[in-house]
Amino acid sequence: MNAFQRTATVFRREFRSYFSTPLAAVFLVIFLFLAGLFTFNIGGFYDRNQSDLRPFFQFHPWLYVFLVPAVSMRLWAEERRTGTIELIMTLPFGVADLVIGKFLAAWAFTTLALALTFPMWITVSWLGSPDHGTIAVAYIASALLAGAFLAVGSCISALTKNQVIAFVLCAVGCFVLLIAGFPAVIDFVRGIAPGGIVEGIASTSALTHYESMMRGVLDLRDILYFVLVIVAFLALNAFAIDWKKSD
């Protein structure tokens, strides 16, 4: 088998595993429930009298901080806890095949959850005349943000056998990625550091790039940011597997 076939084999195995347990149903129900709750109750969807999905997308980063770690925590921690990591490492797959296959399966699963919110788009189209281009870009931004968080979580999961620890550390890591661009953090840094440092910190924030795309701006720099975060943490993930496989 070539690299693509090996990765596809791992992907299929991992993606099916989500639906062999109640995890898939629980995650999908919780995500859809919370997305609706934040949009209509907290976001004031009807009170705004605007035909857009900003109240829907603006809460996604905070939902992902808690929900994405629930998906990523099992990617490697469970394999290490049960000892099956030793078995899969003897199979004719490279570390890169395993890391990418597992990540893509988790990303496909979370993207499926996001796709199931499509009735929101139908609803706002029925109520008014939204900018469909802006909504489409916001969906892309949400999927990329979930992918970046999953890459972080996958890397952390490879470092521990305990899923609870993996969950907590992933949530903290994703939270830090977000608040780096939070106005309060930027204002604080601006008071003690030169403008170049402030801009550098803001540019490392997932929130800064996400909000830019959420407004409908499809900037190559924002896409490149998410791609680089994913690639960097998957590379660290592979390194962690090589480092810890003898434990």
| pLDDT tens sequence across 132-162 | 888 999 999 999 999 999 999 999 998 888 8
Distance CA 96, CA 38 (A): 38
Q: What is the mean pLDDT of residues 29-37?
A: 88
Contacts of 168 (CB under 8 A, 6+ apart): 69
Q: How many domains does the chain have?
A: 1
pTM: 0.89
Mean pLDDT for the stretch of residues 32-61: 79
Residue 170 φ/ψ region, left for φ over 0, alpha for ψ in the -120 to 50 degree band, beta for the rest: alpha
Range of the domain at 32: 3-244
